[in-house]
Amino acid sequence: MVIALAALRGDAGFALLGGIAALVLTALAVRDILVPVRLAADREGITVVSGIAGTQRILWPEIERIRLYKSRRLGIPSRLLEIDTGDSLCLLSTHDLGASPEEVERELREIRRRVAGPPAGGAAPERPGTD
């Protein structure tokens, strides 16, 4: 639609920008169809989406911290689930998770507690809302 309007106006720059935006939105829609699950947890660890359609396997001992990241942008509150391995950081939104980040954080902590024992390095158990 945007490209058609730009073509009618004769604005090549606007048409290019509209085309790029359309391609990005199409790529995101295809990603959502091809890889609908962004996070999965089991006894060994978690699997998270990496890039458009790739996945990354992270074992429980590799995860240093799981926490809820809260911020405000333009006055709008934002909550993300943060999974920190020390080498990489994975941030997942409510849209990515299909549930509230708080619920997923609690579930991950419970699974980790049951199957993995204490975090790597013998650190004290994590407490929600710390850091």
Q: Is the pLDDT of residue 13 over 90?
A: no
Residue/partner pairs of 118-127 with CB below 8 Å, 24 or more apart: 119/63, 119/64, 119/65, 120/61, 120/62, 120/63, 120/64, 121/64, 126/65, 126/66, 126/67
Dist CA 119 CA 108 (whole Å) = 13
pLDDT, residue 37, reads 63
Token pair for 46: 């978690």
* Overall residue count recorded for the chain in this entry: 131
- Do residues 90 and 48 touch, judged by C-beta distance below 8 A? yes
Q: Is the pLDDT of residue 52 over 60?
A: yes
pLDDT digits (tens, 9 = 90+) for 73-125: 888 898 999 999 989 888 998 888 888 999 999 999 999 988 855 555 555 45
pLDDT, residue 109, reads 92
Rounded to whole angstroms, what are the CA distances from 116 to 7, 68, 72, 86?
A: 58, 20, 33, 18
